[in-house]
Amino acid sequence: MKKRNLIICAGVLVVGASAAAFMTRSSWMGTGASAQGPQRPRTISVELARAERKPVPVDVDSIGTVTPISSVALKSRLETTIVGVHFEDGAKVNEGDLLFTLDSRQIDAQIEQAEGMLAKDQAQLAGAERDLKRFNDLIGKGATTQVNVDNAKTQADILIGTIKSDQAALDNLKVQKSYTIVRAPFSGRISAANVKIGNFVRPADTAPLAVINQMAPVYVTFAIPQRVLVDLRDAMAAGASKVTATIPGHQRSEDGQVAMVENSVDSTTGMVTVRGIMNNANETLWPGILVATKLTIRTENAVVLPTVAVQRSQSGNFVFVVKDGVAKVQPVKVDRTFQGQSVVSEGLSGGEDVVIDGQLLLSDGTRVEPRARKAGA
């Protein structure tokens, strides 16, 4: 009986302890829930940029090569010796500048000989004409025959032809003498002289005396895709085409216009060759160098935003547009990108605030707050 009472008391104590623990837990949970209240949605800090509608150039980037409009390799047209070099290697020369002087003593002697022959034949012609006049006077008096008159006239005509031949030979020698003076045919820059004073030169030499390249203006030759050919031809007809050539690694550039478009498209690459003419007054572009070219076809108004704002998914491109502190997913269509900017043709009208940093933490409807842009961004 005593043992049974002990068991009953122990059971009562366990039940009481359990009830007390349950009441304490219920009281604690109730207090915590009332203190915490309903949970607020999380706010993400993001960087924003504004989509702008502004004039945007429609251009094509490519790699081009600078080529001179005129380039001449100077060669000797005589077999003779160099007696004078009148320029510094690599110097800028103007049209008509004296470059080389060649030995002309042999031609000078031939010219004097030809002049002597011409003078002799002219003297003989004068005598033949006097004889012809004398025979004409005598034939009128019956003191000579017609045969003598005819022979005198024939001799005068022969000497007239001889004088013409002498004069032509003299003129030819004077032309040959002009080859002993080599002048610049146009303005440009000359290469190093391949010959010096005393060198023997001849027309059969393969190496030129020097090379002159025209420096201003110059051509820039590059290739563009065939898909822009129609737009380019329309721009050329309207006089709106523009070519900018920039030296890689430098900020110096030259502007020009399209001079010509090749008359066929390369079927293996789908590219067409275009040649732009650049003023190059400061000789920024040097013949033979590679340049980064930008062909501007036209300018059009479009919506532009930073390329980092554009996200990609299986359904296409989209951006997060922020309005009233809430980020919304907005599908967009990107036409092209340039200089870190994307041109959007559909989805935005301009003036919207878009997220450019912090997109990984966003979903459609997430609350956001803007933060200051990083230095240098």
Bond before 217 cis per omega within 30 degrees: yes
* Helix residue spans in the chain (DSSP H): 2-36, 105-141, 146-178, 229-238
Res 16: pLDDT: 53
Give the percent of the chain with pLDDT over 90.
Answer: 68
Model confidence at 160, in pLDDT bands (50, 70, 90)?
Answer: very high
Q: Is the pLDDT of residue 290 over 70?
A: yes
Residues 319, 354: Cα–Cα separation, whole Å: 7
Q: What is the pLDDT of residues 133-143, one digit of tens each?
A: 998 889 888 88
Range in 31-40, 248-257, 261-270 the model is least confident about: 31-40
Kindly state the average pLDDT of the residues 78-102. Answer: 96
Residues 48, 283: Cα–Cα separation, whole Å: 44
pLDDT over threshold 80, residue 376: no
pLDDT the model gives residue 208: 97
pLDDT on residue 377 = 54
Q: How many CA atoms lie within 13 A of 88 on its CB side?
A: 2
The pLDDT of residue 299 is 85
Query: Which pLDDT value is given to residue 239?
Result: 83
Q: What is the mean pLDDT of residues 288-302?
A: 91
Q: Is the pLDDT of residue 24 over 80?
A: no
Q: What is the pLDDT of residue 42?
A: 78
Residue whose C-alpha is closest to residue 113's, from 102, 125, 105, 101: 105
Which domains, ranges and CATH numbers included, belong to the chain? 46-54+302-370 (2.40.420.20), 60-69+216-300 (2.40.30.170), 77-102+181-213 (2.40.50.100), 104-179 (1.10.287)
Task: Give me the chain's average pLDDT, please.
Answer: 88
pTM of this structure = 0.68
144: confidence class by pLDDT, cuts 50, 70, 90:
confident
Whole-number percent of the chain with pLDDT over 70? 88
136 closest CA partner among 125, 121, 146: 146
Q: How confident is the model at residue 32 (pLDDT cuts 50, 70, 90)?
A: very low
Q: Over 90: is that where the pLDDT of 214 sits?
A: yes
| Amino acid 216: pLDDT | 92
pLDDT at 221 over 50: yes
Higher pLDDT, 200 or 33: 200
Q: What is the mean pLDDT of residues 97-120?
A: 97
Q: What is the pLDDT of residues 301-353, one digit of tens each?
A: 899 999 999 999 888 999 999 999 999 999 999 988 877 889 998 899 899 99
Structure token digits, residue 340: 């870190």
Task: Identify the residue with better confidence: 179 or 11.
Answer: 179
- Give CA–CA dist 46/370, Å, rounded: 5
Q: How confident is the model at residue 66 (pLDDT cuts 50, 70, 90)?
A: very high
Q: How many Å from the N-terminal Cα to the C-terminal Cα in the chain?
A: 89
